Amino acid sequence: MKILFITEDKFPPYRPDVAVLFVEELVARGYQIDWLLQAQDAQIGARTMALGGGTAWIARMDEGESRMAKFRKNVYDIANDFKMFKLARTGKYDFIQVKDKFVAALMALLAAKIYRLKIFYWLSFPIPEAMLYRVHEGISRYPLVVYLRGRILKFLLYRVIMPNADHVFVQSDRMKDDVAEWGIAKDKLTPVPMGVALSRVPYTIEDPINSSSRESSKMVVYLGALNRVRRIDFLIRAFGEVVSRVAGAKLYLVGAATEPIEENELKELAIELGIKDSIIFTGFLPMAEAWAYVRQADVAVSPFYPTPILRSTSPTKLVEYMAMGKPVVVNDHPDQKKVITESGGGICVPYDEHAFATAIVELLNDPEQARIMGTRGRLYIEQHRSYTVLATQLEQRYRELCQNVQTPA
């Protein structure tokens, strides 16, 4: 099949749901994909380049922070997306796939109608709801502008784009239910959760942690951003209870905050709780080094602050932990709960500090149970959440949706 893919992801794409699922997996199955997307930075510039066996038409980027710079950035992007009309006119595509874009989706609906193509929409995150949530929480720099934009995009998404698209792909079962509440038929919605490229996940890797300190400690790892919005203070307070119940327990926070002040707040909290020697801040690390810490962990954790905009997401860190054979402790976020319930790969508890701490203690004190859970988790990922499996399911869905379309030569 031949796809014209128009996405909010920047060039070169790095998110695995694009870089692995499409650029690698679908291309390996014989798909030809052409791309319209914007450069990651200004140095790349506007150009045409090869990507995954297809061609990428890349819009230039303006990295300035002023309103005018942001306006220019959007103009460059929209101007590049107008190329879809010329490309669609060639008649060589089976369908147009739009991901996380709004103006481009409206343009694609028109192009699909003019040139009699199918159009599919892909929503990986509730973007309008996130804008409105930021305004509600008082964390938006320009609340009136963001509010109006959020309301307009929400109307376009649920009243124009999704009803008129031939099919809609969403991030999770929960997002499918949320979108269906807007009157979109459930048989028009297909969840494609985040997965793992198993070939990239290490099984054996040199331990970057000094062995003398490792032998005397029980190691818990969190992999991810430490930004205030992630509420890592929840994890630190929970770990204060773990330290009081398990001798030698240490928490490795593998990642960093965008703003140093936010990371310093977490360090001050650890000092306040008297557990600063039990919490190690590694800072930002290359992925291989970060995964090395996970590989050495006794338990991996994924606390997910329950907000309306995050309940429909599909956390990546959980499936990465499980792919490395780690037992996990998570809170009852919908996708996390689904994965743990189906796999038996860890313990899922309410978003409560005591409950979270108790689950960590249980696994630290029972290595055999932890080992069994880790094995179950790895098997589940192999069978359900590897990108090879997800690509097979996506390909089948595409073929069902295009069964009456003659593939161009």
Three-state SS annotation for 216-227: CCEEEEEECCCC
DSSP notation for 326-395? --EEEE--HHHHHHHHHH--EEEE-S-HHHHHHHHHHHHT-HHHHHHHHHHHHHHIIIIIBHHHHHHHHH
Provide the pLDDT for residue 191.
Answer: 98
Helices (H), 90-231: 103-114, 127-136, 143-155, 162-164, 173-180, 211-215
What digits encode the pLDDT tens for the residues 365-391?
999 999 999 999 999 999 999 999 999
What does the pLDDT look like over 283-293, one tens digit per residue? 999 988 999 99
Residues 6+ positions from 90 with CB-CB distance below 8 Å: none
Q: What is the pLDDT at residue 215?
A: 52
For the stretch 112-138, pLDDT in tens is 999 999 999 999 999 999 999 889 888
pLDDT band at 213 (very low <50, low <70, confident <90, very high): very low
pLDDT computed for residue 306 by the predictor = 85
- Which CATH code for domain 2-194+387-401? 3.40.50.2000
Measured distance CA(248)–CA(29) in Å, rounded = 49
In this prediction, residue 405 carries a pLDDT of: 57
Query: Does residue 354 register a pLDDT over 90?
Result: yes
Model confidence band, residue 141 (pLDDT cutoffs 50, 70, 90): confident
Among 186-190, 274-278, 305-309, whose mean pLDDT is lowest? 305-309
CATH 3.40.50.2000 domain locations along the chain: 2-194+387-401, 198-385
Fold of 198-385: Rossmann fold (3.40.50)
Task: Dump pLDDT digits (tens) for 301-331.
Answer: 999 998 888 889 998 999 999 999 999 999 9
> Structure pTM?
0.90
